[in-house]
Structure 1
Amino acid sequence: MEYSSWTISRLSMIPMLLAASVTLARADVIMDWNAKADAIAAEKQIPPAPHSRALSMMHVAMFEAINAIDHRYAPYKLSLSADRSTSREAAAAVAAHDVLLSIYPDLKPDLDATLTNALTPIAESESKTAGIALGKEAALQIIELRAKDGSNAVETYRPLTTAGAYVPTVVPLFSTTGATTPWVMTSGSQFRPGPPPALDSEVWTKDVNEIREVGSRGSPTRTSEQTTIGRFWFFVGARTYNPIVRQAAMAKGMDLVDCARLFALTSMTGNDAIVAVFDAKYTYNFWRPITAIRNADLTANAATPRDPSWLPLGDTPMHPEYPCAHCIVSAAISTVLQTVVGDFGEFSLTSPTAPGVTRKWSRLQDYSDEVANARIWAGFHYRFSTEVGKDMGRKIGALTVATQLRGVEAMAQPSR
């Protein structure tokens, strides 16, 4: 049988099209391990800071392994290289497994089973063997890179008291986080904001009175929807944004390399946002609304009267108020997504702190703004703190995209 040149040309493309479709489908390996890390954090009740560290290590290792084969983007800090025939899926899965195993050695049977399930569909071959070796090397180097990042510093917070006087005995969270090594920033203080407003200022007076009214547990002015949103966002940490990143990757039909890059960028950004905000929080040690409102007479500001029994909608987080942590993280993630992906249609999220509620947005800005408003309606943060947090987040997100994992072609362009 004879074929026309057009037919031969089309037939010759079939292997390439099949390979492309397999690579696209296997981009799931990135999202599968992302969901696995989130599930571990939920099961073990891992706080946001250590979970963010684990995610960033895992996703950077996965990216470095995959990118070592394709060389589509500049690496983070590793100098890996592999043959184009190396299995990307095997490399990514092993990198994720080995990083998580280094952090959660008690979960070895579960993590080993997850890895086996990921590797089983890949045919036994030199490609698979090379991918496994590459993934191990990427994980090993990232683990070594972060071995002395300060995340295991001993907590030494000193409660403020006088000799013999009782103070609440719960030690606040994340007092050492601001001193840990960032992924992108030069230090945790790089984007440290100026101090909170003076207690006799117009901004302070307006914002503390706003939260006294709308953030109290029995507020008559907070609407039913605002109450629901406030409770929804009691849910914090990377588990609030990872599902959104997964939806963005799926909406854009990202292939394996681009998906790995997106998760590496968002994970590094989320981690650095946490470092930055806790640097600022423990620098200024600013009082929370429940403390300020119950002690308002100490400020000598007649426009901010004391309410001795005031309570917020939820239980106040155990760390200083300024700036808003939830706000910096959501703004940082939104900035990365907006720059890399753009608005990608409707996306949604559920929350364990508001069962049965699904929040939906069509713009990343609306998502970020809702998080900020929720912290006011919950009685946790003053409005000025949410605005400062969002500004910090935007700066960190922009820095990450501008400097990290850039396209090889962009890196080759002369500076202007």
Structure 2
Amino acid sequence: MMNRIDMKRKLELCLAVVALVIAMSSFARADVVTEWNQNAQQALLTAKTSPVVSTRVLAIMRVAMFDAVNGIERRYTPIHVDFDAPPGASRRAAAIQAAYATLVKLFPSQKSTLDAQRDASLNSIASEEAVENSQSIARGIEWGQQVADDILAWRSTDGFTPAPPPFFGGTDVGQWRPTPPRFLPGALPQWAHMTPWAMSSPDQFRPLGPPALTSDQYAADVNEVKEIGSNSSATRTADQTQIAVFWTGNAPAYWNRAATAISDQRHLTLSENARLFALLNVGMADAQIACWDAKYAYVFWRPITAIRLASTDDNPNTIEDPSWTPLIVTPNFPEYPSGHASVSNAAATVLGAYFGNNAAFTLTSEVLPGVIRSYNSFTQAAEEAFNARIYGGIHFRAACRDAQLQGIQIGGFVMANIAQSAKGKRTGQINHQHPQGQISGDGENSGNDQ
């Protein structure tokens, strides 16, 4: 009889443990940080937001979510918001509201979708299983909105608006000018002067500049891209062609998906995810600003211009081809350095520092539905993004190499200086009397880049 009772108790205990594990697994899957990562990517895709503008959108949302969660916990130094959260505020409700409030401001035309997503998120944490009481949720919503408002006010005067006059470059040898097929002016020149997130200034990590037109390095770079990046290249492999096209999508969104996949594998907590995604997106946002600073400082011509006008460069080792055309359409901004290489290496550096470099993951691209590419490390993916721009015929190797170093430096700088362990310190933005600028609808600005 005693054995049966013991067995019954053991069975009940096992069932209770299994139920707890299932509940905990369900909670992990319902992490609001990664949930709103998906919502943000959907908003970007719907609005057809350019990769450049996406870095700002994602950083605004991610910093708001981090400062909302961290303002309740005080585990790390704040990125911007250093005032006190109301006692007992729900961390999850604060994160949800911070994400919602920033996105609905940046994507006002998607308000009905974002409203439904917010309601679903809040309902999930108000359920019996989640054990969140109404007062805690209400305080979390209030706090999340307060944080979002402060972040939005801060970034409303960061230089994104008003847009400057159209930029057309110049006609000197080596100078960027509008390129075929649409001959658009330079996209987003204001990014070169935008207020950074972590850096002290946009030119803090400015590279030394492209190689001299008469140098052997320049000739080697021109001849490489002329051969492998041509629309009719006989040496580019099928896989290299796929890589070039695959990476024409929204790279910042790719890296957020990679982070989500590894976060799910490693079962990160809400607090860990809030910090991870803030670091990742601040790193990419600052890499984008630093890259644009250099682009509009050096104003270097694209391969399509350089190859078609090679007879003017005074380099005996380059040969003009007036009809040369790249595999992919040349983006409408100066060539040096590469945005993809800078942003991707900043992302890889942050994720490698957080998880360790050797992490297996896959990526998909909105421009190649159904194609899945696999990686064994973050640097492998970043290296592929680097080479994609050469395979596509839109960048020289020097631009990708120098951008790679720039991204690594910025990623390391962010990891060493942003959202550090608090240890009793409360440092952050002191002045919250922000001048009011225009920010509504900024996520729906495509950036006018082809």
Instruction: Provide closer, same or farther for how the CA distance between residues 33 and 273 of structure 1 changes in structure 2, counting only shifts above 3 A.
Output: same
Q: What is the CA–CA distance in structure 2 between the aligned matches of 1:370 and 1:161, rounded to whole Å?
A: 32
Please tell me whether residue 144 in structure 1 is matched to residue 153 in structure 2. yes
Aligned to 2:386: 372
Instruction: Provide closer, same or farther for how the CA distance between residues 158 and 125 of structure 1 changes in structure 2, counting only shifts above 3 A.
Output: closer
Q: Which amino acid is the alignment partner of residue 152 of structure 1?
A: T
1:149-164 to structure 2, matched below 5 A, reads 149-159=158-168
Instruction: Provide closer, same or farther for how the CA distance between residues 396 and 24 of structure 1 changes in structure 2, counting only shifts above 3 A.
Output: farther
Q: Which amino acid is the alignment partner of residue 91 of structure 1?
A: A
Offset of 1:84 from its aligned partner? 6.6
Aligned to 2:97: 94
SS of residue paired to 1:120: helix
Q: Which amino acid is the alignment partner of residue 387 of structure 1?
A: R
Offset of 1:95 from its aligned partner? 0.7
Offset of 1:158 from its aligned partner? 3.9
Match of 2:270 among 231, 235, 256: 256
Unaligned runs of 5+ in 1: 1-6
Greater relative contact order structure (CA < 8 Å, 6+ sep): 2
Aligned to 1:3: none
Extract structure 1 runs of 4+ deviating beyond 6 A.
none
Q: Over residues 355-399 of structure 1, what are the superposed CA-to-partner deviations in whole Å (9 max), with x where a residue is unaligned? A: 332110011111111111111111111111111000000010000
Match of 2:261 among 221, 228, 247: 247
Q: What is the CA–CA distance in structure 2 between the aligned matches of 1:121 and 1:328, rounded to whole Å?
A: 38
Please tell me whether residue 302 in structure 1 is matched to residue 302 in structure 2. no
Aligned to 2:398: 384
Please say if residues 27 and 255 of structure 1, whose CA atoms lie closer than 8 Å, have aligned partners that are also in contact.
Answer: no
Please tell me whether residue 313 in structure 1 is matched to residue 327 in structure 2. yes
1:324-363 to structure 2, matched below 5 A, reads 324-343=338-357, 345-363=359-377
SS of residue paired to 1:135: helix
Please say if residues 236 and 326 of structure 1, whose CA atoms lie closer than 8 Å, have aligned partners that are also in contact.
Answer: no
Aligned to 1:201: 215
Q: What is the CA–CA distance in structure 2 between the aligned matches of 1:410 and 1:286, rounded to whole Å?
A: 48
Please say if residues 93 and 119 of structure 1, whose CA atoms lie closer than 8 Å, have aligned partners that are also in contact.
Answer: yes
Q: What is the CA–CA distance in structure 2 between the aligned matches of 1:230 and 1:26, rounded to whole Å?
A: 33
SS of residue paired to 2:362: strand
Aligned to 2:135: 126
Offset of 1:26 from its aligned partner? 6.4
Offset of 1:23 from its aligned partner? 9.8
Aligned to 2:246: 232
Taking only aligned residues, the RMSD between alpha carbons, in angstroms, comes to: 2.6
Instruction: Provide closer, same or farther for how the CA distance between residues 67 and 241 of structure 1 changes in structure 2, counting only shifts above 3 A.
Output: same
Q: Which amino acid is the alignment partner of residue 379 of structure 2?
A: Q
Aligned to 2:36: 33
Q: Over residues 185-226 of structure 1, what are the superposed CA-to-partner deviations in whole Å (9 max), with x where a residue is unaligned? A: 111111111121111111101111111111111111111111
Aligned to 1:4: none
Q: What is the CA–CA distance in structure 2 between the aligned matches of 1:411 and 1:335, rounded to whole Å?
A: 26
Q: Which amino acid is the alignment partner of residue 37 of structure 1?
A: A
Pick which of 304-313 and 170-179 moved more. 170-179
1:19-30 to structure 2, matched below 5 A, reads 21=24, 25=28, 28-30=31-33
Aligned to 1:189: 203
Match of 1:58 among 57, 61, 67: 61
Q: Which amino acid is the alignment partner of residue 46 of structure 1?
A: T
Please say if residues 82 and 134 of structure 1, whose CA atoms lie closer than 8 Å, have aligned partners that are also in contact.
Answer: yes
Q: Which amino acid is the alignment partner of residue 77 of structure 1?
A: H
Offset of 1:292 from its aligned partner? 0.2
Instruction: Provide closer, same or farther for how the CA distance between residues 125 and 410 of structure 1 changes in structure 2, counting only shifts above 3 A.
Output: closer
Aligned to 1:135: 144
Please say if residues 251 and 344 of structure 2, whose CA atoms lie closer than 8 Å, have aligned partners that are also in contact.
Answer: no
SS of residue paired to 1:360: strand
Offset of 1:294 from its aligned partner? 0.3
Offset of 1:21 from its aligned partner? 3.4
Please say if residues 215 and 315 of structure 2, whose CA atoms lie closer than 8 Å, have aligned partners that are also in contact.
Answer: no
Offset of 1:83 from its aligned partner? 6.0
Q: Which amino acid is the alignment partner of residue 95 of structure 1?
A: A
Please say if residues 248 and 344 of structure 1, whose CA atoms lie closer than 8 Å, have aligned partners that are also in contact.
Answer: no
Offset of 1:155 from its aligned partner? 2.6
What percentage of aligned pairs have identical amino acids? 38
Q: Which amino acid is the alignment partner of residue 48 of structure 1?
A: P
Offset of 1:105 from its aligned partner? 2.1
Q: What is the CA–CA distance in structure 1 between the aligned matches of 2:157 and 2:225, rounded to whole Å?
A: 41
Instruction: Provide closer, same or farther for how the CA distance between residues 213 and 389 of structure 1 changes in structure 2, counting only shifts above 3 A.
Output: same
Q: What is the CA–CA distance in structure 2 between the aligned matches of 1:228 and 1:182, rounded to whole Å?
A: 34
Q: Which amino acid is the alignment partner of residue 65 of structure 1?
A: A
Per the normalisation by structure 2, the TM-score is: 0.83
Please say if residues 314 and 378 of structure 1, whose CA atoms lie closer than 8 Å, have aligned partners that are also in contact.
Answer: yes
Match of 2:117 among 110, 114, 118: 114
Offset of 1:409 from its aligned partner? 4.1
Please tell me whether residue 219 in structure 1 is matched to residue 222 in structure 2. no
Q: What is the CA–CA distance in structure 1 between the aligned matches of 2:425 and 2:234, rounded to whole Å?
A: 56
Q: What is the CA–CA distance in structure 2 between the aligned matches of 1:410 and 1:191, rounded to whole Å?
A: 31
Q: What is the CA–CA distance in structure 2 between the aligned matches of 1:52 and 1:230, rounded to whole Å?
A: 21
Please say if residues 359 and 378 of structure 2, whose CA atoms lie closer than 8 Å, have aligned partners that are also in contact.
Answer: no
Per the normalisation by structure 1, the TM-score is: 0.90
Q: What is the CA–CA distance in structure 1 between the aligned matches of 2:215 and 2:111, rounded to whole Å?
A: 55
Please say if residues 86 and 143 of structure 2, whose CA atoms lie closer than 8 Å, have aligned partners that are also in contact.
Answer: no
Offset of 1:77 from its aligned partner? 2.1
